[in-house]
Amino acid sequence: MRGVSGAEVPVERLRPGDPLWPTVAFDGLREPVRGLFALGRTGLLGRAPRRSVAIVGTRDASPYGMRVADELARAFVRAGITVVSGLARGIDSAAHRGALEAKGDTIAVLGTGVDVPYPVGHRELHGRVASAGLVLSEREPGSRAVPGCFPRRNRIIAALAEVTVVVEAPYKSGAVNTATQALELGRVVAAVPGPIDSARSAGSNLLIRDGAQVITGVSDALGLFGVADDSCFRAPALGYEEGRIWEALEGGEASAESLAERLSMSIRQVLELTSRLEISGLAEFRSDGVVRRTATLST
C-alpha cells in the first residue's frame, strides 16, 4: 500500500522466533499470537511492552474524552513512550492523532487485515500511522471485519503495552475488554474518571472502583512510568456542570441565555457556573451577557 507521502509501504510478515518478534510482550497470553502482518516501522516492536502505553476508549466519545486522549498521547510521546491503540473512531483516533501531531511513535492494531482501514473514513489516518509509526494485524491482508475480530485484537493491544489507560468506556465495551486482558497479563491498568451518570464513563468508573489507577491529570499518567514533566498541563478540577459549560464553549463564545437553553439550565445556574470558571481563569462573563473562554486546558 501507499503511505500519505505517496511512497510504497510494504507489508511484512513476522513470526515467533524472528528477531523483532515481541516475545516478552506476548508471554502469558491465553490465546497465543501465531504471526503478525506489519506496515511501517517494525523496529517499534523491540520496545514492547516496555515504554509503551495503550490508550483506549469508546467510539462514541465526548469532546472531553477526545481532548483528554489527545493530551495524554502528546504527553506520553514527549516522554519517549509509544502510544498503542486500535485506530477506531473516538478515543483511539484521538490518541493516534495526538501522538502523530507531537511527532511521536504510535502503533495501531487492527481487527481487519493490516491493509484494510476500519472504519473506511480513517484511510488517511491509517496511512499516516503506516508511514510514521506501525500498523499491525494477525489477519491476512485484505481481510474484512467479521464477528469477534475486534475482541481478539484487543489482547494484542493489551500485550504490547506496559500500561493500559481507559479514557471513556461503557460497561460492555472493547476498552474494558482490553483492560481486563491487561490485568490477566499482570499489567498496570488506569482510567480517567467521568460523570457518574454518563453511560460513556460507566466502565471507566467501574475499573477505578475495582482498583485501577486514577488519572486526574497528565502528571498522574506519566507517573505510572516514573516520569515527571512539570511542563505538562494540569487541568483545574472542574466539576461535571462546570465541564458542561466548558465543552459548550468549545465552538466559540455564547450568550448566557443560549447556554441555558442548550444545556437545559436556568440563567442563574449558568451565571454561577461561569463564575467558577472565571475564578479558575478559564472563562469570562462580559457585560453584554456573552461568555467566552479565556484560556485553554493545555500548555
Task: Supply 79's cell numbers.
Answer: 516522554
Residue 3 lies in a domain: no
In a domain, 167, yes or no: yes
- Same domain for 107 and 162, yes or no, is yes
Enclosing domain of residue 287: 240-293
Q: Do 134 and 42 contact (CB within 8 A), yes or no?
A: yes
Q: From 223, 248, 280, give the residue that closes a domain.
A: 223
As a whole number, mean pLDDT of residues 187-204 equals 94
The mean pLDDT of the chain is 88
Residue 148 lies in a domain: yes
151 and 210, same domain (yes or no): yes
Name which residue leads in pLDDT, 57 or 289.
57
Torsion of CA 72, 78, 84, 86, to 10 degrees: 60
- On whether residue 230 sits in a domain, the answer given is no
> What are 156-168's pLDDT values in tens digits?
999 999 999 999 9
Looking at the fold, whether 164 and 260 belong to one and the same domain comes out as no
- Say if 207 falls within a structural domain: yes
Residue 299 CA to residue 297 CA, distance in Å, equals 7
| CB distance 73 to 96 below 8 Å | yes
Instruction: Check which CATH number belongs to the domain holding 287 and give it.
Output: 1.10.10.10
Residues 41 and 140 in one domain: yes
Asked if residue 232 is part of any domain, the answer here is no
Q: Is 45 within a domain?
A: yes
Whether residues 80 and 203 fall in one domain: yes
Q: For 115-174, give the DSSP string.
A: TS-SSGGGHHHHHHHHHHSEEEESSPTTPPP-TTHHHHHHHHHHHT-SEEEE-S--SSSH
Same domain, 196 and 254: no
One domain, residues 252 and 132: no
Query: For 79-120, where are the alpha helices, taking DSSP H only?
Result: 91-101
Same-domain pairing of 256 and 286? yes
| Predicted local confidence at residue 297, as pLDDT | 58
**Looking at the domain assignment, is residue 205 inside a domain?**
yes
194 and 250 housed in the same domain: no
Asked if the model's pLDDT at residue 4 lies above 50, the reply is: no
- Tens digit of pLDDT for each residue in 240-291? 788 888 888 887 889 989 998 988 888 888 888 887 777 666 778 777 788 8
Edge-to-edge strand order for the sheet containing 254-255? 254-255, 290-293, 283-285
Which one-letter amino acid corresponds to residue 174?
A: G
- The CATH number of residue 25's host domain is 3.40.50.450
Residue 235 has what pLDDT?
Answer: 46
Residue 28 dihedral angles phi and psi, to the nearest 5°: 100, -5
CA 152, CA 179: separation in Å to the nearest integer? 13
70, 113: one domain:
yes
Q: State residue 237's pLDDT score.
A: 57
Q: How far apart are CA 25 and CA 147, in angstroms?
A: 26
